[in-house]
């Protein structure tokens, strides 16, 4: 993983994620005997944040300091760095690469951190890019679930709230699908998981997503065989709350700063909020997670409940980020066998015959903002579909201009 940029959760393979979790345990052990670890002495982390942050920036900075490294920080990069004078991401990272060994960057445009990787060899870690991804939050989330349940395969995880604009749930859904967890999406109307994400989960990971618009929705269960005296047990066995079937409830706030003009803020209490009353109907061993900050979707009244794990989740973030920094800086290595099997498959960008005719349709994609060459795509589904190289949203292919030209030939030539 040395010098690897982490822009998407898919920049890490499953074996690497599991290896990283083992490094977390090693670091926790090591810190019991030595308060100050020296693994990254001499290394400098730069945090370049064009959007506000508490947990991501401070936990990365704390992680680097706990590893014996040093930190330089632009916490309000939009107003206090040269971005305020019109400097582009490309130029800024070209400069910052000389000041730091690793850069953690947060930006309001989808795909913006991918642009940074095109300009410099210094590893770039995505601290959240628009509504696109937040891979290191996902590492904290997966680590927390693994720690609470001992594994991820088969656990039922409800992703609740703003699944449209929330970046944490996009990376997390992919991570969960890759580890064989079951995904239940609970979103108010207008805030559902985007179609391109659901298609991706089904196509790439054979993950069947269940969807509801309320966390307290009633769901039909398989009918139980009639009891010996033939009495119907319909009321107790035919229907159940989805809440009582869940292992993890992962709540998110509405991303108000990203709403489009036509979006109507949903009424929280009627659909996906977690209250003390609702928690009473959850499993005794269920776990409630939230990337934080919270708003009305997560009641303060449940904080004392053992199942409320969001502050433990935030605390795990420092350890997970310590492991990640030590790995990308090459101060720790995964065991050799694990490493060989581990590398994620590189995604290949196809060449297009009519590249200029195609544009990413996502208005919040960095490719719409003049900093990058428009028309750079990933190929999916046997190269007959395209996803934007920067924001992963699907791009409509142009119609063939004459009958002999298929969409496939458009991509291949
Ligand atoms: C999240 C983010 O920034 O995407 N916060 C975080 O990093 N823990 C979630 C949010 O802001 O709602």
Q: What is the pLDDT of residue 84?
A: 81
- Give the mean pLDDT of 209-213: 94
More confident residue, 405 or 334: 334
More confident residue, 305 or 265: 305
Nearest CA to ligand 1 atom 6: 291
| Substitution site in 138, 162, 254, 292 for ligand 1 pocket (most atoms within 8 Å of beta carbon) | 292
* Minimum mean pLDDT range among 49-53, 147-151, 341-345: 341-345
| Substitution site in 54, 112, 137 for ligand 1 pocket (most atoms within 8 Å of beta carbon) | 137
- Give the mean pLDDT of 92-104: 97
Residues labelled catalytic = 55-56, 85, 106, 134
Structure tokens at 251: 């709540």
User: From the alpha carbon of 314, which atom of ligand 1 is closest?
Assistant: 8
Q: What is the pLDDT of residue 340?
A: 58
User: From the alpha carbon of 162, which atom of ligand 1 is closest?
Assistant: 12
Q: What is the pLDDT of residue 276?
A: 94
Nearest CA to ligand 1 atom 8: 291
- Give the mean pLDDT of 17-21: 96
Q: What is the pLDDT of residue 219?
A: 73
Q: What is the pLDDT of residue 270?
A: 63
């Amino acid at each position: 993983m040395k010098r690897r940029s982490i822009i998407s959760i898919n920049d890490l393979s499953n074996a690497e994620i599991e290896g990283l979790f083992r490094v977390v345990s090693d670091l926790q052990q090591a810190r019991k005997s030595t308060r100050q670890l020296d693994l990254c002495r001499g290394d400098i982390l730069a945090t370049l944040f064009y959007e506000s942050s508490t947990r991501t920036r401070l936990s990365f900075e704390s992680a680097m300091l706990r590893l014996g490294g040093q930190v330089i920080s632009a916490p309000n990069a939009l107003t206090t760095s040269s971005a305020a004078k019109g400097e582009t991401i490309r130029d800024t990272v070209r400069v910052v690469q000389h000041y730091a060994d690793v850069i953690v960057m947060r930006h309001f445009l989808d795909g913006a951190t991918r642009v940074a990787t095109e300009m410099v060899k210094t590893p770039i870690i995505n601290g959240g890019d628009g509504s696109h991804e937040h891979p290191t939050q996902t590492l904290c989330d997966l680590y927390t679930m693994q720690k609470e349940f001992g594994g991820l395969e088969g656990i039922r995880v409800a992703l609740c709230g703003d699944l449209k604009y929330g970046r944490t749930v996009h990376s997390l859904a992919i991570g969960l699908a890759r580890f064989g967890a079951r995904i239940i999406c609970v979103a108010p109307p207008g805030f559902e998981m985007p179609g391109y994400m659901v298609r991706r989960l089904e196509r790439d990971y054979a993950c069947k997503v269940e969807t509801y618009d309320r966390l307290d929705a009633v769901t039909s269960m398989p009918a139980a065989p009639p009891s010996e005296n033939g009495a119907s047990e319909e009321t107790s066995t035919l229907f159940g709350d989805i809440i009582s079937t869940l292992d993890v409830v992962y709540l998110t706030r509405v991303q108000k700063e990203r709403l489009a003009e036509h979006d109507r803020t949903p009424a929280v209490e009627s659909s996906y909020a977690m209250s003390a009353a609702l928690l009473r109907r959850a499993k005794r061993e269920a776990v409630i997670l939230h990337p934080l900050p919270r708003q009305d979707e997560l009641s303060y009244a449940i904080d004392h409940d053992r199942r409320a794990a969001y502050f433990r989740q935030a605390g795990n973030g420092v350890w997970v980020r310590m492991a990640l920094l030590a790995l990308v800086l090459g101060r720790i290595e995964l065991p050799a066998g694990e490493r060989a099997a581990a590398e994620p498959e590189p995604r290949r960008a196809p060449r297009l015959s009519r590249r200029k005719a195609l544009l990413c349709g996502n208005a919040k994609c960095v490719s719409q903002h003049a900093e990058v060459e428009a028309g750079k795509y990933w190929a999916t589904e046997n190269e007959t579909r395209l996803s934007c190289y920067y924001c992963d949203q699907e791009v409509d292919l142009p119609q063939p201009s004459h009958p002999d030209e298929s969409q496939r030939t458009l991509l291949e030539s």
